Structure 1
Amino acid sequence: MTGSSAPAALGPIAGLAALALLVLAIRYAGHTHPATVDVWIQPVLEDVRPPWGYAAEALDFLGEPAGAVLSIATVVTACLLLRWPRTAVLVVVGSGLSVAATKLLKSLVGRTINGDNLSFPSGHTAFLTALALVVALLATGRLGLGRTAGTLLVLATTLVAGAAMGWAQVVTRAHYPTDTVGGLCTALVVVPATAWLIDRTADGVPGRAG
């Protein structure tokens, strides 16, 4: 997918993310209130003033339908210009499946915020994390980084993006902090699996290997 071995190194990370997601989902299933850790973190993250409040709203927009379409279109265009069609497919499928997974999990977990709004895991956080992960994979391949350096770049970029959107979701009171951790973990599980499936499918088509 990227021309490097970084995706293979993401396997253990995806496994840990899946375990963390499962633990959080079981722990907060059916909850209608913040967890103890949320009560500790929320006052710190919510105490923001302009221009930081505007920054949170801007980040939140990236996870809305219009913002998501614009973001995906921008990254897909860049991938096609660089002649990386598989990565372009991963942008669309990976981010789409990440958001779809959060919607499914929300209905299964049943955690709510602000009334009856399902909250775990955060779809906004999953989306931006997934998009950042794919961009980092693309950068890793373009720079020709090895497995260790490539994995570190991908992981750092993903965590920064997930933390940024998670902060925005808490600031706008759309999610509990633990919801955003769940969203980040969802993307870390879905995107590497999607990348692997796309590579297997593409390599299986005659004349498309490599």
Structure 2
Amino acid sequence: MECLDRPPAPPPSLPPSLRAPLGFIAVLAALVVVTLGVLYAGHGRSGSVDRWFIQPTDDSVRPPWRGLALATDFLAEPAGAAMLLVLAVTGCLLLRWPRAAVLVVAGVVVTVGATTLVKPLVGRTIHGDGNLSYPSGHTAFLTALALMVALLAAGRLGLGRAAGVLLVLGAALVTGAAMGWAQVSLGAHYPTDVLGGWCTALAVVPATAWLVDLAADALRRKRR
């Protein structure tokens, strides 16, 4: 006799109510990444957009702010990023939500991979020592992780479109601004590098979540 008490389907990584608005935002973000990449391809200096922001000097970021900037920067360094990734995946598994764990890993891999791929294509450098700077991988990583956690929280809590978009974009803005400030303050990136990294996460994460949902749903149907 076939069991009628099948476990309920897990909530999607990308809530249906957020697909349209986040899809639109992802397209706009991708256009920003491409536009800035074309504008600053091969450059080794700040541009006109960068000059809209405060340009720190060697002694403009002093303790305790420099310590805060270094601590924020550490969160996207290999050790810090691995720690955050393990915490996020462990949390998903403790909640018995393997799809969410897959999204976290896939989202980080695709986001970091995208910034790694774009950097040599654009060829923008900073400090004249060959360090490729566009887009900011640190900003992209932390923004992507915050985006995914907010997406999963919105789905788990059953938030509507307005509340869900507000939560997701708010999380992205706060984390992106924090890491962006740290990168610019420490002289590791131009402001437009930070903007490019932030937009990379906004473009990649919704698409990755959608693909994870498609794959998970197809696998679930196959097992029936």
Q: Shorter-normalised TM-score: what interval?
A: over 0.9
User: Are 1:94 and 1:195, in contact at CA under 8 Å, matched by a contact in 2?
Assistant: yes
Selected match of 1:12 from 20, 24, 33: 24
Q: Match for residue 104 of structure 1?
A: 117
Larger radius of gyration: 2
Q: Match for residue 102 of structure 2?
A: 89
Amino acid at match of 2:38: I
- CA RMSD in angstroms, aligned pairs only: 1.8
SS in 2 for 1:204: helix
- 1:156 and 1:190 map into 2 onto residues whose CA distance is 17
Amino acid at match of 2:67: Y
Q: How far is 1:65 from its partner?
A: 0.7
Amino acid at match of 1:76: V
Q: How far is 1:44 from its partner?
A: 5.8
- What's the TM-score once normalised by structure 2's chain length? 0.88
- 1:165 and 1:200 map into 2 onto residues whose CA distance is 31
Q: Match for residue 213 of structure 2?
A: 199
CA gap of 1:43–1:82, structure 2 versus 1, over 3 A, is same
User: Are 1:45 and 1:170, in contact at CA under 8 Å, matched by a contact in 2?
Assistant: no
Q: Match for residue 158 of structure 1?
A: 172
- Unaligned 5+ runs, structure 1: none
Q: How far is 1:207 from its partner?
A: 4.5
SS in 2 for 1:36: coil
Aligned length: 209
Q: How far is 1:40 from its partner?
A: 3.8
Q: Match for residue 31 of structure 1?
A: 43
Q: Match for residue 5 of structure 2?
A: none
**Residues 1:149 and 2:163 aligned together:** yes
Q: Which moved more, 1:26-35 or 1:137-146?
A: 137-146
Amino acid at match of 1:37: V
SS in 1 for 2:53: helix
Selected match of 1:75 from 88, 102, 105: 88
SS in 1 for 2:219: coil
Q: Match for residue 53 of structure 2?
A: 41
CA gap of 1:50–1:120, structure 2 versus 1, over 3 A, is same
User: Are 1:45 and 1:167, in contact at CA under 8 Å, matched by a contact in 2?
Assistant: no
Q: How far is 1:208 from its partner?
A: 7.4
- What's the TM-score once normalised by structure 1's chain length? 0.93
- 2:115 and 2:14 map into 1 onto residues whose CA distance is 29
Q: How far is 1:50 from its partner?
A: 1.6
Selected match of 2:151 from 132, 137, 141: 137
User: Are 2:103 and 2:148, in contact at CA under 8 Å, matched by a contact in 1?
Assistant: yes
User: Are 2:14 and 2:151, in contact at CA under 8 Å, matched by a contact in 1?
Assistant: no
Q: How far is 1:152 from its partner?
A: 1.3
User: Are 2:14 and 2:209, in contact at CA under 8 Å, matched by a contact in 1?
Assistant: no
Q: How far is 1:33 from its partner?
A: 0.5
- 1:43 and 1:24 map into 2 onto residues whose CA distance is 19
Q: Point out the structure with the larger helix share.
A: 1
